[in-house]
Structure 1
Amino acid sequence: MSIRLRLTLWYSGLLAGTLLLFGVVIYLFVNWNTFGDLKEQLRVQNSSIHIQSKMNFLDELNLSLYTDDRSFGQKDIYVQVVNYSEGAIWLSDNLRYNNFSIPYVEASKNPKEGFVKTKVEVNKYKYDMLTYQRPIIVPINGKETLVGLLQIGVLSHNEERFLSGLRTILIFSSIVVVLIAFTVGLFIARQALRPIERVIRATDQIEKGSDLSVRIPAIGPKDEIGRLVSTLNVMLARLELAYNELEEAYKAQRRFVSDASHELRTPLTTIRGNIDLLERMWEKVRASNRNESNGEWLPLDSDRWEMSKEAMSDISAEAKRMSTLVNDLLALARADAGYTMEKEPLELMPLTEEVVRRAQLLPRTAEWRVGDLSAMRGVTVTANANYLQQLLFIFIENAFKYTQEGVVELSAVRREGQIGFVVQDTGIGMNPDEIPHIFDRFYRADESRGVTVGTGLGLSIAKWIIDEHKGSVEVTTREGDGTKFTIWLPITLPDTSPSTIIEGTDEIEE
């Protein structure tokens, strides 16, 4: 429920309660004022009437009435005396003339003195009557006994109709006023809360568009809402400044990583070149220290050679590993920096044949097998040749790494609008629960088992290359049964431009 509706309901509820209280007070006042004169007349008439009782020779009770008021029996006031012992009723002349009587309470219900509202039937019509009743109690055999009832009444039909109309007017007028107040209250609340709606729209725009330069229009007086708008604008300005500073720092960090990786490649290349040179020089030294007559090595020079050879091999291996790591970091830094590859239409078959040839020279213990590549004939994709080769070598080297014994196979499949490279091995496989994490940086699926060595960056780079080529990857694996990667790339048709390449999505199957 909105604040506007809640405020309107609270206001309408308060107004309805006030009108209810006001209506009740008005009705009670009018009721008291309307019936006040009638009740006063009945009291005066009651004080002027006297009842006498006597017993006849048959021990029957006779009641007689006399009054001090000369206006007794006037047309507007009706008098009735009830004798409970004989059931006899004495009626005033106006009651007998109009041929009706006043209903009375039975003696068993022990009637009390006071005002009673009742209805009388005159000529088959019922009219409201206000009566004042007074029990008649006389001593019989020394005991106070209720023997009759005196009733003095006046027709109050017109007064009741007036009060009924007043109730109707008060109820309906209150309902109409509340409805009008509710409608007007909604409009007023909407106008009063309009600045808050502007605040909500501005914050939604910032949330959806991440544009912190948006400001809330400051319109209206400097009330509580105006101060809130001003405070939010100041807060947005500070957030924009902090965000821009953070973005600049992040860009600087990415530039640093990219530049550092680039600069590190040069000394590593130099180290590797010098080590290769030293190895060739030591080959010459080794040949010069060999006895030409018997072909044996001199003991001292031979030991020195072995130690130097071992040290240079270690340095070479570490330099190669560092070079690989730096190259990987450089590729990821370029990805973080938003590097865009230069792509052009490329035939897949020649590129794949080159990859197959070079893959045979990779260090491996598994059998390298080339499957059916006929699906690639005549297929052209928009790609970067160097990065596409790197992508295939990442998956092939990864398969060799996790397949100590068995087969690693490269094949191709095709479906509508896409071509797929299939790299399948019969290695150790992995738990399907690990699949969502294998493209995370530095994640190692077999880290807890220590089966292989590596940095855990290869598949992260592969995922970046796939995304840059608008492709997708499917993974099927089971522990002990090997793993199959299917890399899908969109095919560039002859009548389409690179901007119309079909985009793929990452799919993972177990």
Structure 2
Amino acid sequence: MISMRKQLFALLLCVGTLTILITALFVNATIHTEFKNYIEDNIQKTSGIIVRQLEEIYDNEGSWNETLEESLLTNTQIGKFSVAILNPDKELIWGKTKEELAQEIEDLEYPFFYLPQMMQFKDKIYTFQDIPIESEQYGLVGYARIGYFPSWLLSTSDIDFQAGINRSIIWSGLIALVCFASIGAYITRLFTKPIYAIARTSVDLAEGKYYTRYNKHSSIKEIENLRHSMNYLAQKLDEQDTLRRKLISDVSHEIRTPLHILQSNLEAMIDGIYPIDEDQMQVLYQEVVRFGSLLSNLDKLKNIEDSTTDLHKQELYMNSCIKEVYNVFKIVAKERHIHFKLDLKQTDHVTVYADYNALKQILMNLFSNAFKFTEEGSIRVYTTIEEKMVCMYIEDTGIGISKEDLPYIFERMYRGDKSREKYEGSGIGLTMVKKLITEHQGKVEVLSEEDKGTTMIIKLPLIHHTKSKTLKSLFPKE
């Protein structure tokens, strides 16, 4: 298996190499084309000069004479061309043939490395063109046959220039390839180094080192998001591990107390210290009931986490459900002298799609908690409509929740230190509330300040405002 870094580097290098090759081929082809056009332009210019010189010679002499070659060589540079003069019937009068031109090229003393390039097309490519020679006095007097080897037309400067361009292309390609390799190495390191570090962090987490974090920031958004996600996972695992340890401690404490009492009383009875009478048996019975209650709570917790209960949802009046539970707790409020206020004006005739028993269980748990932790003061329940959600607020002036306990109140079997000894409870009520609300596509939030009170906020999806007679018969409006 090849590492991501090697694969990414190889990919970038291949793309760079391919780009360089394509660019080099394109530049080389462009230069070759331009050189070809350059040579053709020179041929046309030279051919025109030769023909004009021949026309002037004929005008001056009135015929082709023996001094023709000398006059032509004096006035033009025709050493690279074979020039022949034909009569109007294209019969050879005078001139140099292809073979003579080739022999002249072979006899020239050029550097060894230029000669093969000049001679490579000698026997394969020979080009000529017949251009009419028209005298001002005599009209058409013949044709000038101008022939040449294309490779011979390149001067040493031209060849040097072409070789220099080719060397520049090669060096540019090599430099560009080195740059691609360097950039590729940097990019692969930029991507893979944090990924490897995050991978090592995940391995540490898998080994139970929940304190591990990766704190080196990245300029790449996706990697930074991955880092945040990994650290958030580590934080949650650390918190869950803390909760697990605390749960074990709590369960051990709760189980140890009744067992210790049972053991002490039974030993005292066996030793004859305590009489085996109805009072002592009642004490043992209460501890057995307490122990059984704890085990029952553990069973409830398991049922909550593995719940597959089908909810029988229907359209219900939110206000009617709240009022039904409110009436149950009015007596408790009166007995404890707690001011209990209800305000449901904003949600009159509002319906939600919910399971009646589940909704009632949610309300019972929340109202019960409010009264449990409020010894004096007031409890206020009111509703609003916010962004297509029915919101219920339960405000109390109870003991509140500390900042340390607030993030964990919905965790299973969690009980804050302040309520552990003084207030009874299993620690699964809010866990059940959150699960049921989540199954109704709702939300539950909590705002609290220690010694000042708590506000529980329940949000359920709003269906619509209705005055259905069926719903009124089920929950008559008060």
TM-score by length of 1: 0.38
User: Relative to total residues, which structure has the larger helix share, 1 or 2?
Assistant: 2
User: Relative to total residues, which structure has the larger strand share, 1 or 2?
Assistant: 1
TM-score by length of 2: 0.40
Higher relative contact order (CA 8 A, sep 6+): 2
